[in-house]
């Protein structure tokens, strides 16, 4: 059976879908970008251009189906491809996706047949399109949908769904129903149709209503000296009425609550008040209520970060009290937000002091929960517990002296740091719902305090039972990769390839380190894994010239000069098949940036992190970041060079490696030394060549060196002598050099390890020849030296 015959079913299925009136597109079937639009779309003009890069675009197919000729072009070669239908108005089809056990249970409960069994074992059910735009749900909508109907998703306008005989990494797609036999929407429950927008056509956008705001007439400070929640809500609603988005105003409100010392529980009550008063339309006039879930997410985001300087009272030019914050978090500017306090002399009520004697715990409630907790403790007191709205530093010291425990309702980050610094025995009571009847709250307090205390007796059990497993799942789903080098033994030694975190490759100028970095980049890009290469020394043209020359055979000298008027190199490349393959097979996943400032400013850690975020969004995977080279990276510091490098290295490890789960290969220039003898030198001496690189060898997860293998060691290892330039052997086999790849540090595995590489500079190819045992090499070299001495004598 020929290859074309094997690929035939995809083209047949795509053309059959066209005959049904469906719009189709080719998708990738394997690799990190499985189910994503295939680059072959560009061959029929379905493309966008961004940052001088051509990207496939399926947007035109959402309104106009492809022609049979275009489809035949896409599937002329079918290896690694799948076919999908574009759902929505263009195909007059909606696909409901039932995924996982919960989804399958829903489908059976609603008595719906299966049209397509997906590769993961889920099911697609095909419905008639209602005739008005139907959204393919975004991540925000999916969260709400998942809470009501777990495992349910919808592909409407702006979406697509794979069809048989496509295969993805989870398995094949199989028809179980008749493709054109669409179900009426009435087969779905009414509440599902209403939620998904399938019950009736959406109404035209309404003029956005204005949130009713009653001018705040109360005090500008509560009894703890903070701006009252009602005042902050009023200011947030003013922002909404002036055109600010509800989410932005909500984040402003959440940050103000955090910065002014509100507990998480207090802030939740204020945010609920805000939710109840904002308009139900978005800024475009669409009916889209702002929900408590959205407010809770905003609040969690705000409280996950440290509080800034709180509001403070000062006098304005008129002598009135003014409460201001240092910075407007909504705008990011230094604009002061001022509120004039017309109630001069208002003082917070005194807080009763902690008793001079006592043994029972203290519950710190804040204002909002104080009355409820006090009432609950009167039902049945728990070991002499007392409730307090606030505590002075002197009272905290009294608790320490009396060895009394402190329990804190929904502590803020600032409170946690303050209690830790004071050294008091304290326990957090998170997410305790205090709006209960006293009897119920009394039991909740008893259980919560007992559970908080017992956590300290469990050591790392909670972490291993919950947190570690959640972190492991997060790592599985974070869209990251292990990036191999293509040198099998080296990859096996470091656990399969470069993983998220910092890795360093050191070598002298001209020693092959950039060539090896380019080979690693090309190896991964060719496999569909995204690579970001930031060069601080060579231009993008020069760097790509090296890749092009090694792949096409066009001499680098011609690329540097552009050829001649009679034979321009650009025309030569246009006709070069390998260049076209490089453009389509490698370039889509290989981004090269000049980091020295010639392309709109220097690329430091922050700018690289922003680009990584963009690439993660585009490729659904963290890229391999290659930085060439360390000593030229901008630090933004005027410290001594070594300390600048240390700051850069730590920033890369924290910002890229840990926060963005990104593998970083850092190319570093190292001190010149006796490289011919370095292979048998002690490990400390080999690591010592990184002295120009700050403390990178201590921070990096792996540290490798690339240096020449001396002629004596070539003989001692019994290796074939490299060919002499101009010799017949050089013409036959090509010129090569022997290098040592020295894995001097390997945090996750065995080290040190050393290998002999054969490097072909003309083609940029590296071949791993054999492992090196330094002790055996030193002994063999000593024996040969003795033999030579004996012969001479």
DSSP of 507-559: E-TTSSHHHHHHHHHHHHHHTT--EEEEESSS-HHHHHHHHHHHHH---HHHH
Residue of 22, 69, 82, 19 lying closest to 43 (CA atoms): 69
CATH superfamily of the 488-780 domain: P-loop containing nucleotide triphosphate hydrolases (3.40.50.300)
CB environment 301-321: b (16+ within 10 A), e (fewer): ebbeeebeebbeeeeeeeebb
Is the model more confident about 367 or about 321? 367
Cα(252)–Cα(643) distance, rounded to whole angstroms? 37
Question: What CA–CA distances, in Å, run from 248 to 205, 254, 326, 501?
Answer: 21, 10, 18, 33
**Torsion-angle region of residue 226: left (phi > 0), alpha (psi -120 to 50) or beta?**
beta
Q: What are the tens digits of pLDDT across the range 109-144?
A: 999 999 999 888 889 999 999 998 888 875 444 556
CB environment 146-162: b (16+ within 10 A), e (fewer): eeebebbbbbbbbbbbb
Q: What are the tens digits of pLDDT across the range 294-314?
A: 888 888 878 877 777 654 444
Phi first, then psi: give them for residue 187, nearest 5 degrees.
-70, -15
When mean pLDDT is compared across 198-212, 337-351, 398-412, the lowest value belongs to 337-351
> Does residue 537 carry a pLDDT above 70?
yes
Q: Highest mean pLDDT: which of 185-199, 519-533, 680-694, 720-734?
A: 519-533
**Interval 742-747 mean pLDDT:** 92
Q: Where are the chain's structural domains?
A: 3-196, 229-341, 362-455, 488-780
Radius of gyration of the chain (CA): 33
When mean pLDDT is compared across 176-185, 375-384, 481-490, 769-778, the lowest value belongs to 375-384
Is the model more confident about 184 or about 632? 184
Torsional sign, CA 591, 593, 599, 600: positive
**Interval 678-690 mean pLDDT:** 83
Q: Hey, what are 681's tokens?
A: 């030198």
**Interval 93-110 mean pLDDT:** 91
Cα(33)–Cα(143) distance, rounded to whole angstroms? 23
The answer to whether the beta carbons of residues 69 and 13 sit under 8 Å apart is no
Q: Which residue is associated with the tokens 């290859």?
A: 3
> Does residue 3 carry a pLDDT above 50?
no
Question: One fold for both 362-455 and 488-780?
Answer: yes
Q: At what angle do helices 246-259 and 264-277 cross, to 10 degrees?
A: 150
Strand pairing of 702-708 and 501-507? Answer: parallel
Cα(224)–Cα(262) distance, rounded to whole angstroms? 10
Cα(200)–Cα(133) distance, rounded to whole angstroms? 11
Q: What are the tens digits of pLDDT across the range 250-274?
A: 888 988 898 888 998 899 999 999 9
Q: Hey, what are 761's tokens?
A: 């500079």
Q: How far apart are the first and last CA of the chain?
A: 71
User: Residue 248: pLDDT band by 50, 70, 90 thresholds?
Assistant: confident
pLDDT at res. 497: 93
Q: Which residue is associated with the tokens 């059959």?
A: 16
pLDDT at res. 142: 57
Torsional sign, CA 327, 330, 331, 332: positive
pLDDT at res. 416: 85
The answer to whether the beta carbons of residues 737 and 675 sit under 8 Å apart is no
Q: What are the tens digits of pLDDT across the range 700-741?
A: 999 999 999 988 889 888 899 988 887 766 656 678 899 999
Strand pairing of 737-746 and 753-760? Answer: antiparallel
Cα(470)–Cα(185) distance, rounded to whole angstroms? 38
Cα–chain center distance at 761: 36
> Does residue 330 carry a pLDDT above 80?
no
Q: Highest mean pLDDT: which of 14-28, 130-144, 648-662, 739-753?
A: 14-28
| β partners of residue 768 | 757
Q: Highest mean pLDDT: which of 27-41, 158-172, 664-678?
A: 158-172
The answer to whether the beta carbons of residues 239 and 248 sit under 8 Å apart is yes
pLDDT at res. 334: 31
| Burial bucket for residue 704 (CB in 10 Å: 0-12, 13-18, 19+) | buried
User: Domain 362-455: which topology?
Assistant: Rossmann fold (3.40.50)
| Burial bucket for residue 250 (CB in 10 Å: 0-12, 13-18, 19+) | buried
Residue of 140, 97, 188 lying closest to 288 (CA atoms): 140
User: Residue 338: pLDDT band by 50, 70, 90 thresholds?
Assistant: very low
The answer to whether the beta carbons of residues 665 and 501 sit under 8 Å apart is no
> Does residue 94 carry a pLDDT above 70?
yes
Torsional sign, CA 8, 13, 14, 19: positive
Residue of 83, 88, 117 lying closest to 15 (CA atoms): 83
Cα(502)–Cα(666) distance, rounded to whole angstroms? 7
Q: What are the tens digits of pLDDT across the range 542-583?
A: 999 999 999 998 998 899 899 888 989 999 999 999 999 999
């Amino acid at each position: 059976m020929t290859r074309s015959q094997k690929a035939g079913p995809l083209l047949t299925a795509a053309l059959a879908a066209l005959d049904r009136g469906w719009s189709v597109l080719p998708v990738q079937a394997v690799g990190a970008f499985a189910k994503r639009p295939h680059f072959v779309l560009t061959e029929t003009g379905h493309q966008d251009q961004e940052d001088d890069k051509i990207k496939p675009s399926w947007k035109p197919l959402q309104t106009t189906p492809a022609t049979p000729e275009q489809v035949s072009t896409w599937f002329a070669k079918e290896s690694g491809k799948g076919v999908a239908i574009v759902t929505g108005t263009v195909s007059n089809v909606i696909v409901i996706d039932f995924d996982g056990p919960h989804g399958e249970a829903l489908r059976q409960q609603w008595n719906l047949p299966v049209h397509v069994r997906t590769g993961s074992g889920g099911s697609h059910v095909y419905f008639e399109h209602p005739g008005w735009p139907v959204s393919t749900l975004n991540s925000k909508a999916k969260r709400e949908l998942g809470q009501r109907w777990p495992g349910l998703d919808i592909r409407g306008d702006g979406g697509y769904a794979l069809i048989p005989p496509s295969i993805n990494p989870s398995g094949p797609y199989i028809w179980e129903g008749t493709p054109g036999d669409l179900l009426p929407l009435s087969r779905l429950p009414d509440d599902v149709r209403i939620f998904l927008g399938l019950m009736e056509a959406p109404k035209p956008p309404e003029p956005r209503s204005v949130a009713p705001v009653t001018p705040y007439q109360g005090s500008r400070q509560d009894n703890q000296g903070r701006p009252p929640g009602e005042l902050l809500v009023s200011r947030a609603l003013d922002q909404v009425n002036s055109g600010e988005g509800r989410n932005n105003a909500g984040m402003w409100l959440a940050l103000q609550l955090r910065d002014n010392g509100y507990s998480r529980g207090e802030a939740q009550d204020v945010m609920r008040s805000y939710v109840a008063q904002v308009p139900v339309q978005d800024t475009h006039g669409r009916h889209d209520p702002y929900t408590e879930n959205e407010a809770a997410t905003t609040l969690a985001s705000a409280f996950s970060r440290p509080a800034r300087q709180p509001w403070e009272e000062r006098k304005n030019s008129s002598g009135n009290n003014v409460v201001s914050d240092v910075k407007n978090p909504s705008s990011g500017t230094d604009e002061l937000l001022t509120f004039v306090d017309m109630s001069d002399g208002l003082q917070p009520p005194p807080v009763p002091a902690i008793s001079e004697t006592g043994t029972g715990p203290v519950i710190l409630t804040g204002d909002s929960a104080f009355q409820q907790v006090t009432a609950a403790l009167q039902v049945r007191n728990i070991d002499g517990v007392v409730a307090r709205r606030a505590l002075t530093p002197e009272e905290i010291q009294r608790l320490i002296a009396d060895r009394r425990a402190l329990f804190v309702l929904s502590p803020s980050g600032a409170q946690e740091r303050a209690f830790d610094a004071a050294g008091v025995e304290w326990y957090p009571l998170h997410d305790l719902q205090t709006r209960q009847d006293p009897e119920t709250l009394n039991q909740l307090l008893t259980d919560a305090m007992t559970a908080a205390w017992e956590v300290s007796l469990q050591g790392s059990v909670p972490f291993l039972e919950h947190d570690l497993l959640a972190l492991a799942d997060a790592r599985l789903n974070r869209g990251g990769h292990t990036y191999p080098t293509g040198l099998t033994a080296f990859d096996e030694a470091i656990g399969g390839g470069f993983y998220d975190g910092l890795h360093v490759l050191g070598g002298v100028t001209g020693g092959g380190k950039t060539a090896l970095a380019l080979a690693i980049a090309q190896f991964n890009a060719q496999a569909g894994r995204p690579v970001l290469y930031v060069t601080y020394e060579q231009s993008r043209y020069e760097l790509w010239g090296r890749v092009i020359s090694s792949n096409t055979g066009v001499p680098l000298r011609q690329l540097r000069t552009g050829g001649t008027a009679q034979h321009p190199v650009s025309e030569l490349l246009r006709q070069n098949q390998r260049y076209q393959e490089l453009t389509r097979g490698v370039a889509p996943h290989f981004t090269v940036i000049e980091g020295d400032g010639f392309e709109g400013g220097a690329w430091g850690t922050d700018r690289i992190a922003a680009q990584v975020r963009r690439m993660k969004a585009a490729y659904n995977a963290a890229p391999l970041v290659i930085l060439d080279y360390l000593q030229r990276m901008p630090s933004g510091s005027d410290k001594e060079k070594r300390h600048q490098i240390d700051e850069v290295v730590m920033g890369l490890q924290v910002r890229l490696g840990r926060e963005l789960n990104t593998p970083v290969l850092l190319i570093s220039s190292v001190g010149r030394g006796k490289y011919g003898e370095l292979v048998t030198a002690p490990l400390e001496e080999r690591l010592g060549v990184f002295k120009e690189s700050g403390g990178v060898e201590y921070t990096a997860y792996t540290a490798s060196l690339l240096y020449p293998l001396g002629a004596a060691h070539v003989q001692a290892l019994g290796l074939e002598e490299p060919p002499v330039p101009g010799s017949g052997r050089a013409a036959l086999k090509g010129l090569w050099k022997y290098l040592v790849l020295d894995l001097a540090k390997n945090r996750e595995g065995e080290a040190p390890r050393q290998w002999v590489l054969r490097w072909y500079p003309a083609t940029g190819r590296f071949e791993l020849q054999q492992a090196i045992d330094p002790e055996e090499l030193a002994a063999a070299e000593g024996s040969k030296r003795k033999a030579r001495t004996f012969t001479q004598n």
